[in-house]
Amino acid sequence: MVAISPPAKVLVTGANGYLATWVVKKYLEAGYSVRGTVRSLSKSAFLVDKFANYGDRFELVVVEDITKDGAFDEAVRGVDVIAHTASPFHYRSNNPDDLIIPAVRGTTSILNSALKHGSNVKRVVLTSSVVAIFDLTSLPRIFNESDWNDASVEAVKTKGSAVSPYTIYQASKTLAEKAAWQFVAAHKSEISWDLVAINPPWIFGPSLSPAPTVDDINTSQREIYDTLTGARTGAQLRGEGTWVHVAVVAEAHVRATHAVAAGGQRILVTSGPFFYQDFLDLAAELGIPNVSRGEPGSTKGLPFAITLETKKAEEVLGLMPATPLKDVLAESVEDFKARGYAGFTA
């Protein structure tokens, strides 16, 4: 295990995604060079403009289908680090294959390319998820990096499309991360790199990507938008989750690159729990007009069923203090206003 410091070159997959764009930004700010993969240059032109000041330290390459064998063969040549962020995240399908196949094959495809053509690669940082860790069938509970969400995989295996899209997403992340660790174990004597998995929960905060309409908003930020605009009511507002700021997750990728001790680790990166009603109560405190108020104060003092340990992130990555949820909400609302989303005016 070694530290990979600037000006090393990092390959960021799916570079035009919500989190990935922040990952690119953080790597460039830290002094690394970045090669980003996108499915289409025409749909990713905003990245060229956004990072123009970094000159030849930033480049884009096209990988049209991440599930194909050899899809990343050329992209991995000459890079020192791979940050694999590309994986579908949505709840629009009840077909498990729509999420599981690209998540798993995309992961094994890039690892195979790194094995065969990534002679310079020293570390792979995989964007996994907390949903690959926690099992919602055994609550309340404290979870850490030793836990796996095998229940979601079993549910999809036995029930198929009868499970919820959320369960399918959980299974896709669990299977993709397991495939990565299994690949490393199977090829231990052949590879010159190690693996780090970053496991964040809901990722909130302003987007750096174009999203001209609400339909274009990324899945996690849509949680905030829908809550503020009244799409959740009653018991839904007492639902809970865990969250982290998008900039913190991006920074975790950078720190996982140059922290020697990160090699071979799964690392939970989280800022804390929330109830959906919290967004509405905080919006009232911030004086945000024309948003739902839900059931004010109804979740105050309620216990959380999920607790996530953050010791490893603190010790290995030395992550920055959590941004208060109130500040993240304010940033998100300003972003919604700037984009002219319905219900929010600048």
Q: What pLDDT band is residue 346 in, cutting at 50, 70 and 90?
A: low
Domain ranges of the chain: 9-206+243-270+307-323
Question: ∠ CA(28), CA(32), CA(34), 5° rounding?
Answer: 70
Q: Return the DSSP state at 302.
A: P
Give yes or no for residue 43 having a pLDDT over 90. no
Burial (Cβ within 10 Å: 0-12, 13-18, ≥19) of residue 138: exposed
- Kindly report the CATH number that applies to the domain delimited by 9-206+243-270+307-323: 3.40.50.720
Average pLDDT over residues 271-285: 97
Predicted pLDDT at 326: 97
User: What radius of gyration, in Å, describes the C-alpha atoms of the chain?
Assistant: 20
Q: What is the dihedral of CA 327, 330, 332, 336, to 10 degrees?
A: -170
Distance CA 290, CA 56 (A): 45
Q: What is the pLDDT of residue 3?
A: 82
Residue of 109, 118, 268 lying closest to 196 (CA atoms): 268
Q: What per-residue string of b and e applies to 51-67 under the rule 16 or more CB within 10 Å gives b?
A: beebeebbbbeebeebe
For the chain, the average pLDDT equals: 95
Which whole-number Å values give the CA distances from 44 to 17, 226, 247, in the listed order?
10, 27, 20
Question: How far apart (Å, rounded) are the C-alpha atoms in residues 50 and 95?
Answer: 36
Q: Which residues pair with 245 in a beta bridge?
A: 204
Tens of pLDDT, residues 114-157: 999 999 999 999 999 999 999 988 899 999 999 999 999 999 99
Please give the Cα distance from 63 to 73 (Å, whole number): 10
State the pLDDT at residue 319. 83
Which of 133, 80, 73, 129 minimizes the C-alpha distance to 257? 80
Q: Does the structure show a pLDDT above 90 at 322?
A: no
Q: What is the mean pLDDT of residues 147-170?
A: 96
Compute CA 311 distance to the chain's CA centroid, rounded to the nearest angstrom.
20
Whether the pLDDT of residue 345 is over 80: the answer is no
List strand residue ranges (DSSP E) for 130-288, in order: 141-143, 194-199, 202-204, 240-245, 266-268, 272-275
pLDDT higher than 90, residue 252: yes
Across 266-274, average pLDDT:
96
Are 198 and 253 in contact by the 8 Å Cβ rule? The answer is yes
Nearest to 37 by CA among 66, 61, 10: 61
Query: What is the per-residue pLDDT across 63-115, written as a single tens digit (0 to 9) for each?
Result: 999 999 899 999 999 999 999 999 888 888 999 999 999 999 999 999 999 99
Burial class (CB in 10 A: 0-12, 13-18, 19+), 311: exposed
Q: Count other C-beta atoms under 10 Å from residue 337's C-beta.
A: 14
